[in-house]
C-alpha cells in the first residue's frame, strides 16, 4: 500500500463507545470488538443505550485503533476483529480504513450491523468484511416499528445487497417475550430467510436484562423492566420453529 494512502487511512476517525479485547460472542473465535457510537434505532431491549449518540464517546483514528488491536494479535488466531455498536456502518469510512490496515497485517474483520437503508454507500466497508453479522430485529414491519421505532427496510435491503454480492452473512435475532418470542413472528422470519443463499448461520439470542442499569444511568425508563429473561426451554421451542424451515443450530 502506498505511504500516502496508508496515511490517509490511518487518519480516518470516529467516536468509539467501548473496546473489548477478549470477545467470544461476536463472531467465530476470540475477537477484538470495537463498539462504535451512533445508532438510528431505539430498541426497547438495547443493552448499550448510551451508545446511540454518534458524537459521544472517545474520538479515535483508525491508526490508533489498529495499533491497539495489534498489541493483542496473538490472542486472535482463529478469530479476528469485529466492528459493532451502536451501528458501525454509520461510520463506514472509518470501518473500511481499519479493515484495510488490518488486512495488511493479515487480520480479518467482521461487521455486526442492523443494516442501512442504502447499503451501497457502505460498499467498501461491507466488501472489506469477511462476514456480516446482520441483526434482524423483526420480520414484520409493524412489530419492527414497535420494537425499534423504525421500519425494517434497512435490514432487508442490507440482506438483499449481501445476497447480490455474495457476502456471507450470519443472522442474529433476539427473542424478546411479548415481541419476537412468538410462533407467528418466528415462523414468518424463518420463511423469509430461507431463500437467501448468503446466509451461513442463524443465531437466536435469548433476551437478557444485563443492560437495564444503563437505562437508569441515562435517565431513561426501561420499558422491559417486568419482562423476564428467556430461558433454555423457550430457546429450544424457538429453534423447533426454525428447524421446521430447514435451519440448524
In percent, how much of the chain has pLDDT > 90? Answer: 87
Q: pLDDT at position 219, please?
A: 81
The grid cell for 101 is 490496515
Q: pLDDT at position 2, please?
A: 72
The answer to whether the CB of 84 falls within 8 A of the CB of 48 is no
Q: pLDDT at position 209, please?
A: 81
Task: For the chain, list residues with pLDDT below 50.
Answer: none
Q: What sign does the CA torsion over 33, 36, 40, 45 have?
A: positive
| Strand partners for 202 | 171
The ranges assigned to domains in the chain are 3-244
Give the predicted TM-score (pTM) of the model. Answer: 0.95
Measure the CA–CA gap between 193 and 156, rounded to whole angstroms. Answer: 10
The answer to whether the CB of 76 falls within 8 A of the CB of 70 is no
Q: Report the 3 state secondary structure along the chain.
A: CCHHHHHHHHHCEEEEEEEEEEECCCCCCCEEEEEECCCCCCCCCCCCHHHCCCCCCEEEEHHHHHHHHHCCHHHHCCCEEEEEECCHHHHHHHHHHHHHHHHHCCCCEEEEECCCCCHHHHHHHHHHCCEEEEECCCCCHHHHHHHHCCCCHHHHHHHHHHHHHCCCEEEEEEECCCCCCCHHHHHHHHHHHCCCCCEEEEEEEECCCCCHHHHHHCCCCCCCCCCCCCCHHHHHHHHHHHHHCCCCC
Q: pLDDT at position 40, please?
A: 95
Task: Identify whether 13 is preceded by a cis peptide bond (ω within 30 of 0).
Answer: no
Measure the CA–CA gap between 56 and 51, rounded to whole angstroms. Answer: 7
Characterize the bridge pairing of strands 131-135 and 109-113. parallel
Q: Which fold has domain 3-244?
A: TIM Barrel (3.20.20)
Amino acid at each position: 500500500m502506498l505511504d500516502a494512502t496508508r496515511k490517509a487511512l490511518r487518519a480516518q476517525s470516529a467516536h468509539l463507545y467501548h473496546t473489548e479485547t477478549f470477545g467470544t460472542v461476536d463472531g467465530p473465535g476470540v475477537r477484538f470488538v470495537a463498539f462504535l457510537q451512533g445508532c438510528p434505532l431505539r430498541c426497547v431491549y438495547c443493552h448499550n443505550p448510551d451508545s446511540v449518540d454518534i458524537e459521544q464517546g472517545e474520538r479515535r483514528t483508525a491508526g490508533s485503533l489498529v495499533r491497539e488491536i495489534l498489541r493483542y494479535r496473538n490472542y486472535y488466531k482463529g478469530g479476528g476483529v469485529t466492528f459493532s455498536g451502536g451501528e458501525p456502518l454509520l461510520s463506514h469510512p472509518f470501518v473500511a480504513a481499519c479493515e484495510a490496515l488490518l488486512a495488511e497485517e493479515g487480520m480479518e474483520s467482521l461487521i455486526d450491523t442492523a443494516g442501512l437503508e442504502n447499503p451501497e454507500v457502505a460498499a467498501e466497508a461491507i466488501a472489506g468484511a469477511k462476514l456480516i453479522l446482520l441483526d434482524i430485529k423483526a420480520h414484520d414491519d409493524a412489530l419492527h416499528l414497535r420494537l425499534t421505532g423504525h421500519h425494517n427496510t434497512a435490514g432487508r435491503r442490507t440482506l438483499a445487497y449481501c445476497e447480490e454480492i455474495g457476502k456471507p452473512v450470519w443472522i442474529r435475532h433476539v427473542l424478546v417475550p411479548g415481541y419476537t418470542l412468538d410462533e407467528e413472528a418466528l415462523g414468518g422470519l424463518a420463511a423469509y430467510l430461507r431463500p437467501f443463499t448468503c446466509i451461513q448461520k442463524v443465531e437466536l439470542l435469548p433476551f437478557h436484562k444485563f443492560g437495564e442499569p444503563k437505562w437508569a444511568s441515562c435517565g431513561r425508563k426501561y420499558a422491559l423492566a417486568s419482562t423476564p429473561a428467556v430461558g433454555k426451554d423457550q430457546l429450544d421451542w424457538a429453534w423447533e420453529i426454525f428447524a421446521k424451515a430447514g435451519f440448524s443450530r
